[in-house]
Structure 1
Amino acid sequence: MNRTELRFAWRLIPFLDSVQGFEDGLVRLRDRRWLVWHPDVMTALFRNDRVLRHPPSRTLSPLLGNRSVLWLDGPEHTAYRRALVPVLRGERYRAVIEEMAGRAIAELPAGPTSLPAWTRRLTLRIIGRVVFGVDDDELLTAFSRWLDRRLGSRVRTLAHRWLTPGATRSDPRLDAMLLERAQSAEFPALAACLPREDLRDQVVSLLFAGHETTASATAWTLYWMHEAGLTDRPDLVDAAITESLRLSPPATLAGNRMSVDGMVLTPSIYLAHRRAATYERPHVFDPFRAPPPAGAFFPFGGGVRHCLGRDLALLEIRLIVTALLRHKHVALVSPSRTPQLRGAAMAPPPSLAMVATCRR
Structure 2
Amino acid sequence: MNRTELRFALHLLPFLDSVEDFEDGLVKLSDRRWLVWHPDVMAALFRHDRDLRHPPSRTLSPLLGNRSVLWLDGDEHTAYRRTLAPMLRGHRYRALIDEMVERSIAELPSGDPVGLAQWTRKLTLRIIGRIVFGVDDEELLGAFTRWLDRRLGSRVRTLAHRYLTPGTTRFDPHLDRMLLHRATTAEPPALAAFLPPEDLRDQVVSLLFAGHETTASATAWTVYWIDRTPGLADEVLDDPDLLDATITESLRLSPPATLAGNRMSGDGMVLTPSIYLAHRRAATYPHPHTFDPAREQPPPGAFFPFGGGVRHCPGKDLALLEIRLIVTALLRHRRIRLNATTCTPQLRGAAMAPPPSLAMVATCRR
TM range (shorter): over 0.9
Deviation at 1:238, TM superposition (A): 1.1
1:274 aligns with 2:276: no
2:264 corresponds in structure 1 to 258
Letter in 1 for 2:170: R
SS at match of 1:34: strand
Cα distance in structure 1, aligned partners of 2:329 and 2:149: 28
Structure 1 residues 189 and 206 mapped into 2: Cα distance closer, same or farther (>3 Å)? closer
SS at match of 1:188: coil
Report how many aligned residue pairs link the two structures: 360
Are 2:32 and 2:270, in contact at CA under 8 Å, matched by a contact in 1?
Answer: yes
Letter in 2 for 1:156: R
2:204 corresponds in structure 1 to 203
Are 2:87 and 2:190, in contact at CA under 8 Å, matched by a contact in 1?
Answer: no
Cα distance in structure 2, aligned partners of 1:158 and 1:87: 33
Are 1:335 and 1:353, in contact at CA under 8 Å, matched by a contact in 2?
Answer: no
User: Deviation string for 1:35-66 (max 9, x for gaps)?
Assistant: 00000000000000000000000000000000
Higher alpha-carbon deviation: 61-70 or 174-183: 174-183
Structure 1 residues 336-347: aligned runs within 5 Å: 336-347=342-353
1:11 aligns with 2:11: yes
Are 2:88 and 2:318, in contact at CA under 8 Å, matched by a contact in 1?
Answer: yes
1:353 aligns with 2:359: yes
SS at match of 1:270: helix
Cα distance in structure 1, aligned partners of 2:308 and 2:275: 10
User: Deviation string for 1:235-294 (max 9, x for gaps)?
Assistant: 232111000000000000000000000000000000000000000110000001110011
1:231 corresponds in structure 2 to 233
Deviation at 1:183, TM superposition (A): 1.2
Higher alpha-carbon deviation: 223-232 or 255-264: 223-232
SS at match of 1:170: coil
Deviation at 1:337, TM superposition (A): 2.5
Cα distance in structure 2, aligned partners of 1:7 and 1:216: 24
Cα distance in structure 2, aligned partners of 1:37 and 1:189: 37
Letter in 2 for 1:159: A
Cα distance in structure 1, aligned partners of 2:326 and 2:280: 26
User: Deviation string for 1:297-356 (max 9, x for gaps)?
Assistant: 000000000001000000000000000001111110123331000000000011111011
Cα distance in structure 1, aligned partners of 2:187 and 2:229: 41
SS at match of 2:234: coil
1:169 aligns with 2:170: yes
Unaligned runs of 5+ in 1: none
Cα distance in structure 2, aligned partners of 1:187 and 1:34: 44
Cα distance in structure 2, aligned partners of 1:130 and 1:8: 36
Are 1:242 and 1:287, in contact at CA under 8 Å, matched by a contact in 2?
Answer: yes
SS at match of 1:232: helix
Are 1:98 and 1:319, in contact at CA under 8 Å, matched by a contact in 2?
Answer: yes
Deviation at 1:189, TM superposition (A): 6.3
2:33 corresponds in structure 1 to 33
Are 2:132 and 2:190, in contact at CA under 8 Å, matched by a contact in 1?
Answer: no
SS at match of 1:149: helix
Letter in 1 for 2:60: L
1:141 corresponds in structure 2 to 142
User: Deviation string for 1:110-144 (max 9, x for gaps)?
Assistant: 21111000000000000001111110001000000
Higher alpha-carbon deviation: 108-117 or 190-199: 190-199
Structure 1 residues 4 and 86 mapped into 2: Cα distance closer, same or farther (>3 Å)? same
Q: 2:290 aligns with which of 269, 284, 292?
A: 284
1:107 aligns with 2:104: no
Deviation at 1:193, TM superposition (A): 4.5
Percent sequence identity over matched residues?
Answer: 80
Deviation at 1:100, TM superposition (A): 0.6
